[in-house]
Chains A and B, each alone.
Chain A
Amino acid sequence: MDASTWELLLHAVGPLLLGAIVGTIPLAVLSFVAGLVIALAVALARLSPVKVLRRFAGGYISVIRGTPLLVQLYIIFFALPSLGVVIDPFPSAVIAFSMNVGGYAAEAIRGSILAVPRGQWEAASTVGLSYATTLRRVVLPQALRVAVPPLSNTFISLVKDTSLASSIMVTELLRRAQEIAAPSYEFLALYSLAAVIYWVICTALSFAQQRLEQRLGRYVTT
């Protein structure tokens, strides 16, 4: 690499990091939080005694998992306007990603709820707790321990998948790299820099995941 490439890279670090901070990270965090709410609702519907709810939730999961995320994103951003629904790039991406997380995380959450022994539900009901209180105070705190590893993986995948939002003009990390690379033809240098930044973020998240798992493992009964 010659000096001008280094110079360009040096000047690109700032904008790319900014793209991560104002684009990638908020996009991932917002989508993940909204996605978890959807996932919990879908998981509870899957566990419901009401058949219609179970069917609906199963259908939702099947559609989300059976279609590419990029297509889901395109439907919301490029196809919905033909039905008169026009949504800005960033919110479009949040909607697509959160619905996607909702489909993937639902099964992990359902599994973690099923991993809580029946006796906990029964004990909670004999002390008078309602269904919602039982979930909030007894079942979900215990399910969380089981759910953290798969949900962390979902989140880390999501951070990487946010790069798809560059295709609908969300100015996140990859889009910034494209914008700087295009006029200079320095694709190798800029996309490599983008890759390094994604890698650093995901590695930091994996580390945080391990710490969290250790913390949550404290009160494990045999």
Chain B
Amino acid sequence: MPLVTVRNLHKAFGDHVVLTDVNLDVAEGSVTVLIGPSGSGKTTLLRCLNGLSHPQRGLVTIGDVTVDYSSHPNRRELAALRAQSGMVFQAHHLFPHRTALENLTEGPIHAQKEPVASARARGHALLEQVGLSDKADAYPSELSGGQQQRVGIARALALRPRLILFDEPTSALDPETVGDVLTVMRDLADQGWTMVVVTHEIRFAEQVADHVAFLDGGLIVEEGTPRQVLTEPCEVRTRQFLRRVLDPLSRVPDQGRP
């Protein structure tokens, strides 16, 4: 049985339909990469997995928690769903008034009621894991973009979630720090973490993903192994998208023009 199942997800902002009917399975211990054009609803889909976004319809199951969005889940049901995952944001959203270590221990101590000493010990170990053992007492504003994002990843790990959601974790970074963050993510994949990753890093998807889903027009247009979707895509839209991402200067001819 998959760890995550998404069924018939439908989300509109006003009369702007973003997800029409999305279905997705995520196997435990697998890395799923979501790709798709800007505005195709990747972020929205990810946020439906932890209740930050409230779709009008659809069923999301993670582990033994199921939320049926059509029945207006209350705050407690959404919190139970949210507790299943950790999230890494594009803009990291670290707490600016707390040190790196305090960012990591905030959830464990103040939500999960873990004893302070054990949370801090785990926090130090996690900072070491992401290569920042010397930055425990630094404030986010004192860290580089790549370091901030690695703290963001460690903060998600500190919650000991069933899976981790990544929303374009490297899109806001300087090119030379992207590699540090992707390396940490690849290590997590090797350790068996279940991950759902929205990214435009096609090379990362090829090397690390077990499953790739291409989202366009409110639907998952094509999904499968990285080889199926990225190397030998069946759909025209997938091919066009990949061409644009891999070679941004190549112009796809407009329809009706030679």
Contacts and interface: CB of A to CB of B under 8 A. Distances in A.
Contact of B107 (A120, A129, A219, A222): A129
B95 A123 contact: yes
Interface stretch (A134-142, A155-163, A187-195): A134-142
A8 to B, nearest CB: 53
A123 B96 contact: no
Interface of A: 117, 119-120, 122-130, 133, 137-138, 141-142, 219-222
A128 B79 contact: yes
B97 interface: yes
Contact of B95 (A125, A130, A133, A138): A138
Contact of B110 (A120, A125, A137): A137
A124 B103 CA distance: 10
Interface of B: 50, 52, 79, 82-83, 85-87, 89, 91, 93-97, 106-107, 110-112, 139-141, 155-156, 159
B106 A126 contact: no
Nearest to A127: B107
Contacts of A122: 52, 89, 93
Contacts of B112: 128
Contacts of A222: 141
A126 to B, nearest CB: 4
Nearest to A145: B97
6 contacts: A127-B86, A127-B107, A128-B112, A129-B107, A129-B110, A219-B97
A142 to B, nearest CB: 6
Contact of A120 (B86, B87, B95): B95
A137 B52 contact: no
Contacts of B79: 125, 128, 130
A105 B110 CA distance: 29
A221 to B, nearest CB: 4
B202 to A, nearest CB: 27
A127 B139 contact: no
B93 A221 contact: no
B203 to A, nearest CB: 28
